[in-house]
Structure 1
Amino acid sequence: MTDIEDQLCEELRHPSWVNFVFSLLIAVGIVLSYLPQHFRIAIRKSSRGLSPWFLLLGAASSACALANVLLLSTDVLSCCSMISGGQCFAASLGVIQVSLQFAMFSVIVYLFIAFFPRDPQLVSDWHRAVYTVVAVLVHYIITFILAILFHKFGSVASVESYAVFLGMQGTVLAILQYLPQIYTTYKFQHPESLSIHSLLMQAPGSLIWAITLAMRPGTEWSTWMPYLSAAVLQGVLLSMCFYYLRLGRIQLPLDNDLVPANDASDQDIEEDAEPEELVISFFDENAR
């Protein structure tokens, strides 16, 4: 072990408790922020309204982010044999966070194909959905095989170069990821299967996550930039969802669950109304 690695391990013996607490809360928040999206698709028994391109680009971006942080955290993880279990856990939280995000987004991809509408008129859309999942799996395999090869046989410079490439690719994909979903939401003029509750947690959470990742040892700008980009675009998508739900209640209903605000009182809101619509109703009533 080199002097630089010894110094790094010594730093990890004295973790920042502030960063540790925030990192731990973010790890829990990542899981909680995706659960509403999972439940929304499962309860509706439909993934209608989710863009295949949004899922493909998002899955590819999360895979790049995970491979990036694994490669850049190799020295940090190697220190686990030199420090206590608690110190190793604190040092590994960055990797744990990205791994959780990768896993939770992969669940959305699975739910997307499992609950895709079975409609004879949507055969071409079904084929597109299948191709999307296949492309996601192929990208996973290629990304992680290359990461393993670079880690095992590459020089330090080549590993860092590949990690930076993954970070840049992840940033571009994170930006492109939300453009198809923004277009799909604009086309439907409604969130459909997109969960506002998830976006409410993910937009500010991604921003805080990017900050904590930037503060962690062993990470570079290529590690946290995808999450900063995602936070901005999640905010745009969230604003669109609120706008269309509010517009739908004031003008014309966009589906059977929507009740125009001008024609409904508190007692008129149906029991099966969407949770996001009740949020909009609450905001409307308090604004009067």
Structure 2
Amino acid sequence: MTMLVSETCHFETDWATNALTGFLIYGLIVSYVPQHLRIIRAGTSVGFSPWFLLLGSTSSAAGMLNMITLQWPVIRCCREVSFGKCIEITAGVFQVGVQWLFFTIILVLYMMYYPPNLKYIQLEVDTHDSRPVQHIRTKLKSSEWRLSIIVSWAVAGHLALLIFTTFLLLLTTPPSPDPSVPHPRQITLWATFLGVSSGVLAAIQYAPQLMRTYRLKLVGALSIPMMIIQSPGGVVMAVSIAMRPGTDWTSWIMYAVSAVMQASLLLMCIIWRMRQRRLGIDDFGRPLGESAAVDQDASTEDSSQTQGEEGTVSVVVEGEDGDNAREDTPLLKPGNVVRRGGILGWIQGLRK
């Protein structure tokens, strides 16, 4: 038995694969950080589609657990090899884990920095005098905020279910009696399900975001530098995973599909960025000369329009579907840029 384990856990050092994996992990971190910082610095997550975040989070989770399932015999070898060798042979798992973690952080930031003035339905009250129309916030959640809350719980439930099922199968399924077959049939079927579902989710992941960005005709909170790095990086990542022992096409297909779809979103954002410069507006539809002043005076504007316990902010989104907006009409008014609510505000929103 000891001889069998030692033979199974004998791995030759592949410097090329290790260097590529290390480069990709570094690239993932460098590519996602600009997106995280962009949301935090802007103080808003305007421009993201909750469907895009739902599909992306569930797709990356399925891809990560597919990798863990297929490389489980390799992971178990960490008990027989040195710590450094363990890091080397499980680098592929760490690679997809970093991708899942950093994408899921986008969802967390989306909820934390969701504009408070868009969380609840606001009514316009005409006072029939010289005063302007009053905007009164109700206690009814807006449809997109309700959807965002459902998305958060769905992502958490999906992750918990996949983790439970994966480790239940890995820890209870007896090993394959045939040495030439690396995985038992149940494990192979589950890994295939995870890989195929991950690929399908990745294929449709960008459709809602492409539609939303097309309708807004603005870049919003999306990070162009992140997409510039990740579009070609997705192809390289697929190749890197394919080179790992124990993986198959179900492990890398998600990343190849995502790279193609993300390249399409990148092209659209570049076109809208050029349009914004021609119209003299920023990524949120604000006149460029007023952007700084709006950021500095945001808290003052919020307090001056407060109604009730938490206050309301007047917001007008014109022509979100692109049908009624003139080309020179900013689609997102300055009121959309709000101060962040913080982690406590996010948790409170989920509980409501």
User: TM-score by structure 2 length?
Assistant: 0.70
Sequence identity of aligned pairs in percent?
33
5+ long unaligned stretches in structure 2: 122-140, 175-183, 294-352
Query: In the alignment, which residue of structure 1 is the partner of 2:9?
Result: 9
Contact 2:210 2:265 survives alignment (8 Å) = yes
Deviation at 1:102, TM superposition (A): 1.2
The residue correspondences of 1:76-155 to structure 2 (distance < 5 A) are 76-119=74-117, 120-121=120-121, 123-154=142-173
Displaced runs of 4+ in structure 1, greater than 3 A? 1-8, 251-254
**1:59 and 2:89 aligned:** no
Give the counterpart of 1:201 among 216, 229, 240. 229
Other-structure match for 1:266: none
Counterpart CA distance in 2 for 1:52 and 1:187 is: 15
Q: Secondary structure at the match of 2:142?
A: helix
Matches within 5 A, 1:145-184: 145-154=164-173, 156-184=184-212
Alpha-carbon spacing, 1:248–1:118, altered in 2? closer, same or farther (3 Å): same
The root-mean-square deviation of aligned C-alpha atoms, in Å, is 2.2
Which AA in structure 2 matches 1:142? Answer: L
1:67–1:2: structure 2 CA closer, same or farther, 3 Å change rule? farther
Give the direction of change, closer, same or farther, for the CA distance of 1:90–1:252 in structure 2 (3 Å limit). Answer: same
1:24-79 Cα shifts (integer Å, max 9, x gaps): 11111111111111111111111111000000000100110111111111111122
**Counterpart-to-counterpart distance in 2, 1:252 and 1:143:** 47
Cα shift at 1:86: 2.1
Match of 1:228 in 2: 256
TM-score (norm 1): 0.85
**One-letter identity of the residue aligned with 2:286:** N
Which one-letter code corresponds to 1:179 in the other structure?
A
Q: SS in structure 2 opposite 1:217?
A: coil
Give the 3-state SS of the residue equivalent to 1:253 in structure 2. coil
Equivalent in the alignment of 2:286: 256
- Letter in structure 2 aligned against 1:9: C
1:207–1:227: 8 Å Cα contact kept in structure 2? yes
Contact 2:70 2:247 in 1 (8 A): yes
**Partner residue, 1:185:** 213
Deviation per CA, 1:181-228, whole angstroms, max 9, x where unpaired?
111110111110111111111111111111010001111111111000
Question: What whole-Å deviation, never above 9, does each CA across 1:220-251 have from its counterpart, x for those lacking one?
Answer: 11111100000111111101100111122235
- Mapping of 1:265-276 within 5 angstroms? none
What is the DSSP-based 3-state SS (H/G/I as helix, E as strand, rest coil) of the residue aligned with 2:63?
A: helix
* Structure 1 unaligned residues grouped into runs of 5+: 260-269, 273-288
- C-alpha contact 2:6 2:80 (8 A) present in aligned 1: no
Distance in 2, matches of 1:117 and 1:188, equals: 16
Displacement, 1:3? 8.0
Taking the aligned partners of 1:144 and 1:85, their CA distance within structure 2 comes to: 25
> CA offset at residue 117 of structure 1?
1.0
Count of residues paired in the alignment = 261
CA 1:271–1:251 in structure 2 vs 1: closer, same or farther (change >3 Å)?
Answer: closer
**CA separation of 1:257 and 1:81: change in aligned 2, threshold 3 A:** farther
Structure 1's 3 and 229: CA in aligned 2 closer, same or farther, altered over 3 A? farther
| Cross-structure match for 1:238 | 266
